[in-house]
Amino acid sequence: MPSRQTLRERIDSEIAEGWSITLATDSDVVVGFLATKPSVKVLDQLFVIPKAIGSGTGGLLFAHAKQEMPNGFALYTAATNLSARAFYERAGMLSTHESAHPRTGHPVVWYEWVPDQ
């Protein structure tokens, strides 16, 4: 795991490069977040804390990404993250290809969401 300092630096860099961040809260507790890059049509991060999985938080955050990028977007997730892959496929995303993660090199699956015409 990266250090807190490394994560802070990455967040600062990503925001400077165009991240749009949305927080999901429950009684003032952050239970999930969404980070998109609308200028390049990428859903970069979608995270829900374990105890909130199944609560609809992920679906609400995904719906927000669709509102932010109504003409479509792409994302990638770890090839081994079967729950994330199932979530994105249920949400209507299509797998387009596999590649290596840009920082770690582990296998990732790319997805694309294109709105209905």
Count CB atoms within 10 A of the CB of residue 99. Answer: 13
pLDDT of residue 95: 96
Contact call for residues 49 and 72 (beta carbons, < 8 A): no
The model's pLDDT over 77-115, given as tens digits with 9 standing for 90+, comes to 999 999 999 999 999 999 999 999 888 889 999 999 999
For the domain that residue 16 is a member of, what is the CATH number?
Answer: 3.40.630.30
Question: Confidence class of residue 41 from pLDDT cuts 50, 70 and 90?
Answer: very high
Tokens 């990503």 -> residue:
14
- Domain of residue 77 covers 4-113
Q: What is the mean pLDDT of residues 18-27?
A: 91
Residues in the chain: 117
Give pLDDT, residue 117: 54
Q: Total domain count for the chain?
A: 1
What the block records as the tokens of 115 is 């709105």
Q: Cα–Cα distance between 106 and 100 in angstroms, integer?
A: 5
The encoded tokens of residue 83 equal 């729950």
